[in-house]
Amino acid sequence: MKIIIDTPEAIARAAAQRYVELLGRKPDAVLGYATGSTPLGLYAELARLCKAGELSFARATTFNLDEYIGLDGTNDQSYRYFMDKNLFDLIDIPKENTNVPCGLDMTDEKAAEYDRRIEAAGGIDLQLLGIGNNGHIGFNEPGTPFGSITHTMHLTESTIQANSRFFASAADVPTSAVTMGIKTVMNARSILFIALGSVKAEIVKKMLCGPVTEEVPASVLQLHPDVEVYLDPAAAALL
Ligand code: GLP
């Protein structure tokens, strides 16, 4: 595991170079994407590089980590909408190459199909991850088995509260989600992890320095052979 501590701006630039390098070497790479506020700087940088002609996603395929159950892709709180607005509409990727789990009529049987689609595409080359305040990756809440594949998940009260900042009120936050499983994430060939801000300092310390336990889902990354962890000084403050 490689740990890089830098400013959010420098992190966005350095992380974007991973995509320049990967897509330069493998234009049809399979990319795993994440939502939340953390990747926004990186997404802006990817859009800038693409517009400048330094990066092309024309042959890439993407798979997003998760989606709220009950939200259609046209809902402005859905992760499909978030990805279109903050990345896909700003780069040269054909929309049909972008995959976000469907939040409607979702069951665990249908969710498992997402793993088969990832496998059929050749597996994820580079998976981007943020972290929830309770250690979740994707929407894999504490206690999710490390062997899990894409599945549905009831969100914890702390996640609903944390994510309510994007909604009118906590009552508007969906109470469940569909998410790649821990095994799905761990199957990615490389992982690019970003955490920013003092609110993440405590959980980053547990993830990197604590025991590998299903109670801290992100701690499983200690077992992955190729992880780059990008932290700003505030998120790294307790290391
Ligand atoms: C959501 C997403 C996670 C993300 C987390 C942190 O719960 N499902 O993938 O890592 O939010 O969000 P933020 O980056 O806004 O702190």
Quote the pLDDT of residue 80: 98
The closest residue, in CA terms, to atom 12 on ligand 1 is 36
Three-state DSSP class for 229? strand
Calculate how far, in angstroms, residue 156's C-alpha sits from the geometric centre of ligand 1.
13
Do strands 176-179 and 151-154 pair parallel, antiparallel, or not at all (unpaired)? antiparallel
**Is 119 a known active-site residue?**
no
In this structure, what DSSP letter does residue 171 have? G
Calculate how far, in angstroms, residue 195's C-alpha sits from the geometric centre of ligand 1.
10
User: What's the CATH fold of domain 2-196+206-231?
Assistant: Rossmann fold (3.40.50)
In this structure, what DSSP letter does residue 123 have? -
Calculate how far, in angstroms, residue 95's C-alpha sits from the geometric centre of ligand 1.
23
Instruction: Using most ligand atoms within 8 A of CB, pick from 35, 64, 140, 173 the residue to mutate for ligand 1.
Output: 35
**Is 224 a known active-site residue?**
no
Q: How many residues does the chain have?
A: 239
The pLDDT tens digits along the chain (239 residues) read 999 999 999 999 999 999 999 999 999 999 999 999 999 999 999 999 999 999 999 999 999 999 999 999 999 999 999 999 999 999 999 999 999 999 999 999 999 999 999 999 999 999 999 999 999 999 999 999 999 999 999 999 999 999 999 999 999 999 999 999 999 999 999 999 999 999 999 999 999 999 999 999 999 999 999 999 999 999 999 99
**Is 6 a known active-site residue?**
no
Residues near ligand 1 (Cβ within 6 A):
34-38, 65-66, 130-132, 138-139, 159, 163
> Angle 40-51/79-86 helices, nearest 10 degrees?
40
Domain ranges within the chain, ordered by starting residue: 2-196+206-231
Residue pair 57/50 in contact by the 8 Å Cβ criterion = yes
* Ligand 1, atom nearest to 39 Cα: 14
Quote the pLDDT of residue 96: 98
Quote the pLDDT of residue 15: 98
Instruction: Using most ligand atoms within 8 A of CB, pick from 137, 140, 163, 180 the residue to mutate for ligand 1.
Output: 163
Helix (H) or strand (E) holding 32: strand 30-33
Instruction: Using most ligand atoms within 8 A of CB, pick from 67, 134, 136 the residue to mutate for ligand 1.
Output: 136
**Is 66 a known active-site residue?**
yes
Calculate how far, in angstroms, residue 16's C-alpha sits from the geometric centre of ligand 1.
19
User: Active-site residue among 86, 99, 134, 163?
Assistant: 134
